[in-house]
Chain A
Amino acid sequence: MDQGTLSRLSALTENGKVNRALGRGQDGVEEVTAQALAEGHSPAAVLEALTAGMAVVGDRFAAGKAFVPNMLLAARAMSAGMALLKPFFDSGEVQRKGVFIIGTVFGDLHDIGKNLVAMAAEGAGWSVVDLGVDIQPEGFTAALDANPGAVVGLSALLTTTMGNMEPVIQAIRRARPDTRVIVGGAPLTREFADKIGADGYSSNPAGAVELLAGFAAEPSGGAL
């Protein structure tokens, strides 16, 4: 097996190269994922290569060296590879790290921050349930009913809607007290997150993925 194929896959993901059609005839993640599987690389190793490429962009984003287009392009490229891995997820040959439910809270229709975190989480190996925007507390609790044990992420962009996170967290606590809830959004601070009872706060997608990794290492019900 050619380890260079996996390195190339990471680099193509990082640089947002999707496929030959969008890449003016140059191979992208879609072709190289297929090549890696054909060479006999395990689906888990292929996933790791995709994740590594996405993580590079996420870290650069957190450091202010990459920007929204870079994240979107990398996530789109990664999705092309993930589509080829879907049968292995379905069969259980490749395990997700857990389920991550994410949505923008009610009253707020902004989605870019939520989308970036969802992409980063998926790229880090989580199964993502994206509820969309303007989600009432019942929307989150219903998603938890369908995915017990999931981690929940709440997003808000506006100072007028960040306060809506607290009733969502309260509803989640009433329905499933052990649920881990993380929050993020431009006007938020760690102090605000603590005040409303969130289990974690991040100002960027890479930080959110780190929080998720911590939860995966210490499943719900353990001390935080």
Chain B
Amino acid sequence: MLATLRGESADRIPNFNILMAYAARHIGRGMDEFCRDHRVLVEANLAANEVFGIDLLNTMSDAYRETADYGARIAFPKDALPVCQPLIAGPADMRLLKPFKIEDSSRMLDRLRAVELYKRKAGDEWPIMGWVEGCVAESADLMGLTGFALALYDEPEMVRDMMEICLETAVGCAQAQVRAGADIIGVGDAVASVLGPKVYDEWALPYEQRLFAEIHRCGAKGRLHICGDIGPLLDGIRVCGADIVDVDWMVDFKTAHDALRGAAIVCGNFDPVSVVLAGTPETVAAAVDECRDAVDDDCIIMAGCEIPRDTPAQNLAAVSQALERRGRPSAKP
């Protein structure tokens, strides 16, 4: 996998499919346990990686680890994603928001423990990916998306203060995960695509640049994940500093690849619902081949976003089977 990132010849194209709810179900555990207990998360991902040929040890579970540690109230339904009550409604609530250190936290400390456990169990076999929320996404989690989007216009100074706090915390959490053994730090700035290129360039990009610079400074690679249509953001994403950029299914893979050529490797990008959840092993294999062909094998393969929980196992297995069948990637131009 790391050879792929260096642009060197690799045995095969890496499979980075994102498993969360699927992994929990794979070992018969609830999503609440997966989100709250790093031992469950690690067991689930290790088991799923073996069966489905995933090439990365993933610490993702939900978007609210930092939010919880800032003090937001989180509920954990048994078989669904956690539910977060926004912490910040306006400037008066900013007194509630302080940067935290991972060793003093709860949910982010649990993620750190996952990195440590992966390192002990399988760190020589697979690369480990730690995770932090991007500053725009975290601010939207703290305020709720509607509140955040309006605050960008009504309370820009407050938003700037909030994002500085999010950045300070994210840098510390990323550094600790790298020290614990993470090879890659993923940055989830999930909502950036719905805010549009103007907001992305003004608000998200400067913080992503600072965050990825710190991730590189401590020796790790950086991965950017933004859900949805990042097509309008590609010019900005090109200079954000990420080494890997996830490309969701509605974006033309070749367009993204060409826009990011020389800056980052693209990771994607077939439809997790119509292709993986509702498709067949044949449609999945065809989608994998189509992605590879679009970018002459200069990519990492995954569905554009998380693999749905109820995906048929044979469809998920078809991803790695398709990668094995085609074998060694074609030589890079």
Contacts and interface: CB of A to CB of B under 8 A. Distances in A.
B312 interface: no
Contacts, number: 58
B154 A158 contact: no
Interface in A2-48: 16, 22
Contacts of A161: 80
Given A69-B152, A160-B21, A160-B308, A186 B228 contact: yes
A73 B150 CA distance: 7
Given A107-B80, A109-B83, A160-B308, A68 B153 contact: no
B81 A68 contact: no
A159 B277 contact: yes
B225 to A, nearest CB: 15
A155 interface: no
A72 B150 contact: yes
Interface string B187-210: 000000011100100000000000
A8 B11 CA distance: 63
Nearest to A189: B274
Contacts of A163: 310
B309 A72 contact: no
By secondary structure, the B interface counts as helix
Interface residues of A, number: 26
Contact of A159 (B195, B196, B232, B308): B308
Given A68-B145, A72-B146, A112-B145, A189 B194 contact: no
Interface residues of B, number: 27
B273 interface: yes
Nearest to A113: B194
B322 interface: no
Contacts of A191: 274
Contact of A68 (B80, B195, B231, B232): B195
Contacts of A109: 83
B196 A187 contact: no
B272 interface: yes
A22 to B, nearest CB: 7
A70 B196 CA distance: 9
Interface in B219-277: 228-229, 231-232, 272-274, 277
Interface of B: 21, 80-81, 83, 145-146, 149-150, 152-154, 194-196, 199, 228-229, 231-232, 272-274, 277-278, 308-310
12 contacts: A64-B232, A68-B194, A69-B195, A69-B199, A72-B146, A159-B273, A159-B308, A160-B308, A160-B310, A186-B228, A187-B273, A187-B308
Given A68-B149, A68-B194, 18 more contacts: A22-B154, A64-B229, A67-B199, A68-B195, A69-B150, A69-B152, A69-B199, A72-B150, A73-B150, A109-B83, A112-B145, A159-B277, A159-B310, A160-B21, A160-B309, A161-B80, A187-B272, A189-B273
